[in-house]
Chain A
Amino acid sequence: EAAVTQSPRSKVAVTGGKVTLSCHQTNNHDYMYWYRQDTGHGLRLIHYSYVADSTEKGDIPDGYKASRPSQENFSLILELASLSQTAVYFCASSDVGANTGQLYFGEGSKLTVL
């Protein structure tokens, strides 16, 4: 079974503070992603990476940075957290090798910015 783990699972941050969300996968997948989900809504892609030490912008990258120091680890960084970034964040890895692009999601990180 594919495994993607996120930390922290829940965090409260103050406006203007720095937040780092971490993701670790044991799937040996090259592709990793960060998605944002607002309550009851769809998933929007923030950043993704297909190789260590390289990241790419997704559909909503403004206000977010990403870091991929190794194949297994992918972090999402909010340098100056804002109220509008309150959401649930999902990390995922992709089974590109199977030629389908199926995503395996972590359990999510609930971020509340006050």
Chain B
Amino acid sequence: GDSVTQTEGLVTLTKGLPVMLNCTYQTTYSPFLFWYVQHLNEAPKLLLKSSTDNKRTEHQGFYATLHKSSSSFHLQKSSVQLSDSALYFCALRASSGSWQLIFGSGTQLTVMP
């Protein structure tokens, strides 16, 4: 069945350093993926969504590239800021045709001064 795997539960970095949050997926359908960000005590909000294979999508300094060959959609940023501290979810549109999103377990990013 469809699934999403985020291997890091917790990532702690110093401000200004680059970050990559891993996301791999499994589906029998044409993949469509999302990254959502959730700040403390707030609702999840869309950060970015996938485009065509091997095409990079960007928003608010974050970027990700869908790679069908490796079933991945890793989230990256070249220089993290304190305000980037949040919970990040990767999500896959389900292949069942029900328009469900299947969420990964999330990665908590903490940026230190």
Contact = CB atoms under 8 A, between A and B. Distances in A.
Interface stretch (A11-19, A35-43, A64-72, A73-81): A35-43
Contact of B101 (A103, A106, A107, A108): A103
Interface residues of A, number: 23
A56 B97 CA distance: 13
A52 interface: no
Contact of B45 (A43, A56, A105, A108): A105
B44 A42 contact: no
Interface string B21-34: 00000000000101
Contacts, number: 51
Given A40-B108, A42-B104, A43-B103, 15 more contacts: A40-B87, A42-B89, A43-B89, A45-B100, A58-B100, A90-B43, A90-B44, A100-B49, A101-B99, A102-B34, A102-B46, A103-B34, A105-B43, A106-B43, A107-B43
24 contacts: A41-B105, A42-B104, A42-B106, A43-B89, A43-B103, A48-B98, A50-B99, A58-B100, A90-B44, A96-B99, A100-B32, A100-B49, A100-B93, A101-B32, A101-B100, A102-B34, A102-B49, A103-B44, A103-B91, A103-B101, A105-B44, A106-B43, A107-B42, A107-B43
